[in-house]
Structure 1
């Protein structure tokens, strides 16, 4: 824990991280808030589900584009306009669904196609403008902590905090809905993201500058601070593939847990089995940051993905929901370390002016993989024996391990130095 305290004691780290978490709490609240408010306004779960799907789709697909804008213009000129537009659209959604609510869920919308189209367009536009706070914060961590060992701890802390936000967000929505209308959750999400983004953009931490910007600034006689030299062994393709594989596994596992508990007439057990998965991921993430690894990041990612796949395949042998919960916790131990390591490799491989976009690609791969995994398992459940379903869901992680190892062996001319143990001075790229 002292190493994590050292991360937060770094000048400007705590205030910058707190601002990012405040804005990211909005993302933990907004999905449930949208579903509840749109359902309340339209009286239709179909409209609510479609609205959330459109919001998520534009948010995921356009994430690298938004991150590129932050890389190009910096947080103040890139993030703040996005947050302002995103906040405005969410506020309109909150007002519209509040006006449309009422007894029976009809109101101004009813259940007509026009109401669904209006809400869907607003949600899709809002998702397209969502500021990439997570990738931006990871870029700022790289500026705050040039030591690779400390940076890995910061990423671990960041990942665990994000897990907790995803748990805390729906709980806060539940509290709001108990006393106010569901649209209040959407409005609260809008306020959180605006305040958090502005606070993050005002952070004094210098943002990486593109080479073209450095040249232009140099021509004007005031070259900005040079970024810390970074090792660039290869592009971010391997961590993106690994993140997609982890996402496929997670999306498939969640649906398999639902099918498993339903088959044993214990549907309420879904919540605590998935909670065990999250708890295992949090423990794994903290442990990953606490250990001083001597191995390089890419082979470590291959080992973690292989372990994730083996644990997931073994979960299919669980005889009851209690054993499945324990197996889910074991699987979770490898989830956060895999994603943290993928983010580190992507950050290391990216040019200084493209690090936010590199992190956004990893994030996009996880989310897209999760959706694909859920769809894939939906085709398997009821047609394939449950144990075999778990094995098939584990295949992406095992393939990612093989692809990562093949990529390492395929580029023999590039060597990645292992991290130095703590106390050895400046860390090396992991």
Structure 2
């Protein structure tokens, strides 16, 4: 743990990271709070699911565009306006969803309004994760320290996904779900403004003549081919994780133990946190690209083996084993993306990895839904492990080599 303490002792690291986590906690609270608020306002789970899907779709599709704006103009000129508009739209959603009993004949109009507000909010969602990873690369030029920072960042993100819904649970005990949506708006606004005010210099992309010169100075690893492996790996990991969530539900229901879903998924997250902390604390002699391939292969094997579990306890053990490779794989993907990008395009490179992960999760859930019931459950697990195994074979040779041991 002393290695992580050294990361946080870096000047401005703890305050900058704390601001980013405060803003990112909003994403941990919003999904559940928005789902509950829209369901209460519309009386329909279908409407709630559609509104949440619209929010997620615009957020994922436009993530690289928002990241490019930050690379070009910096956090203060781009990130803060995004956060202000985003928070205002969330506040509007909180106001709209406070109406628990719509007037006769207005249900359809309310659903359209909530969907439009959610879609617009997703379009302006500030990319705090990619921005923070860019700032990490500025704070810690040493690659070994950067690996530890990325591992710490990934573990914190896992914890946010656990703490966020718990916080919503507390809030809705004493207030309407719409109040939790409003709290999400406050969290993201305060955290984003604090992050943008960080004294850490941000590598803004050059414009005009300077930008043309910057293009000519790029190394072979900074182009799309350099980003191909980490983006594909993130998409593959997302496909596996999205499918695994649904397969765990199917497995536990098949054993007549639906209540076991929560703790099986919890041990998956716990395994990811443990794996991420251990991975970041080690110094690796191997290059990052072949290492990413090995980690993806291990993840695929663990997921395939989970389908052979005879009971939910064995499934939990297999999920914990698979989790050990999730955070290390994503950490390595972000490291490669950071190294592959030009200094003024790091946020966009990280956003592509993040977008691929989120898109993969959505696709994995949909794919698993088609497989369950059509083929035996063990085969479903094996098929959902294929993306990770394929990523293990897609290792570019001679590009973007990273040796953390050499610093």
So what's the TM-score if we normalise by structure 1?
0.90
Aligned: 1:328 with 2:323: no
Note if contact 2:51-2:118 (Cα within 8 Å) is conserved in structure 1: yes
SS at match of 2:199: coil
In 1, Cα distance between the equivalents of 2:85 and 2:343? Answer: 27
CA shift, 1:266, in A, is 0.4
The superposition leaves residues 181-219 of structure 1 with CA deviations (integer Å, 9 ceiling, x where unpaired) of 110100000000000000000000000132337949x9x
Which residue of structure 1 lines up, in the alignment, with residue 92 of structure 2? 92
Change in Cα spacing, 1:135 to 1:79, as seen in structure 2 (3 Å) is same
The superposition leaves residues 64-88 of structure 1 with CA deviations (integer Å, 9 ceiling, x where unpaired) of 0000000000000010000000000
Note if contact 1:41-1:110 (Cα within 8 Å) is conserved in structure 2: no
Change in Cα spacing, 1:415 to 1:126, as seen in structure 2 (3 Å) is closer
CA shift, 1:143, in A, is 0.2
Note if contact 1:163-1:282 (Cα within 8 Å) is conserved in structure 2: yes
Q: Which of 396, 413, 416 matches 2:401?
A: 416
Aligned: 1:14 with 2:14: yes
The superposition leaves residues 151-176 of structure 1 with CA deviations (integer Å, 9 ceiling, x where unpaired) of 00000000000000010000000000
Which residue of structure 2 lines up, in the alignment, with residue 41 of structure 1? 41
Which residue of structure 2 lines up, in the alignment, with residue 26 of structure 1? 26
In 1, Cα distance between the equivalents of 2:127 and 2:325? Answer: 25
So what's the TM-score if we normalise by structure 2?
0.95
Which residue of structure 2 lines up, in the alignment, with residue 193 of structure 1? 188
In 1, Cα distance between the equivalents of 2:267 and 2:254? Answer: 19
SS at match of 1:131: coil
CA shift, 1:416, in A, is 2.1
Aligned length: 400
Which residue of structure 1 lines up, in the alignment, with residue 216 of structure 2? none
Note if contact 2:289-2:402 (Cα within 8 Å) is conserved in structure 1: no
Aligned: 1:287 with 2:278: yes
**Structure 1 residues not aligned, in runs of 5+:** 219-228, 421-426
In 2, Cα distance between the equivalents of 1:388 and 1:399? Answer: 17
Q: Which runs of 4+ in 1 moved over 3 A?
A: 108-111, 211-216, 229-234
CA shift, 1:107, in A, is 2.8
- Say what the alpha-carbon RMSD is for the aligned residues: 1.8
Q: Which of 207, 210, 222 matches 2:205?
A: 210
CA shift, 1:91, in A, is 0.3
CA shift, 1:417, in A, is 4.7
Change in Cα spacing, 1:179 to 1:230, as seen in structure 2 (3 Å) is farther
Which residue of structure 1 lines up, in the alignment, with residue 137 of structure 2? 142
Note if contact 1:44-1:111 (Cα within 8 Å) is conserved in structure 2: no
